[in-house]
Amino acid sequence: MIKKSPRRAARRGRPDRSTVSRLYDYIVKRGFGPGDRLPVRSELESLTGLGPRRLREALSVLEHQGVLETRNKGGTIVRNCPPEKLAEPVYWCLDAQGATDDDLFRTRACMEGSAAFEAARRKTARDLLNILDALEQLETRQKLRQPDWDEERRFHLAILRATHNPVMLMFERIITLNLERNQAAGVFEADEDMAETNRQHRAIFEAIQAGDSSLAMTRMYEHVMGLEDI
What are the tens digits of pLDDT across the range 189-204?
666 788 899 999 999 9
List phi, psi (to 5°) of 76: -100, 125
pLDDT in tens, 98-109: 677 788 788 889
Please check whether residues 109 and 122 belong to one and the same domain. Answer: yes
The pairing of strands 75-78 and 68-71 is antiparallel
Same domain, 82 and 156: no
> Is residue 4 situated within a structural domain?
no
Residues composing the chain: 230
- Cβ atoms within 10 Å of 1's Cβ, excluding its own: 2
Residue 195 lies in a domain: yes
Residue 112 · residue 161 · CB < 8 Å: no
The DSSP secondary-structure symbol of 131 reads H
- Looking at the structure, tell me whether residues 151 and 222 fall in a common domain: yes
Whole-angstrom Cα distance, residue 4 to residue 23? 30
Domain residue limits at 106: 101-227
Residue type, 163: T
pLDDT digits (tens, 9 = 90+) for 137-180: 999 988 888 778 889 999 999 999 999 999 898 888 888 877 88
Quick one: pLDDT band at residue 10, thresholds 50, 70, 90?
very low
Q: Are residues 60 and 110 in the same domain?
A: no
Are residues 199 and 108 located together in one domain of the fold?
yes
On whether residue 38 sits in a domain, the answer given is: yes
Question: Are 90 and 106 found together in one domain?
Answer: no
Same domain, 84 and 107: no
Which of 96, 118, 138 represents a domain boundary (last residue)? 96
CA distance 86 to 67: 6
First and final C-alpha spacing in the chain? 63
Q: Is 78 helix (H, G, I), strand (E, B) or coil?
A: strand
Domain count, the chain: 2
Q: Are residues 196 and 115 in the same domain?
A: yes
| Residues 123 and 24 reside in one and the same domain | no
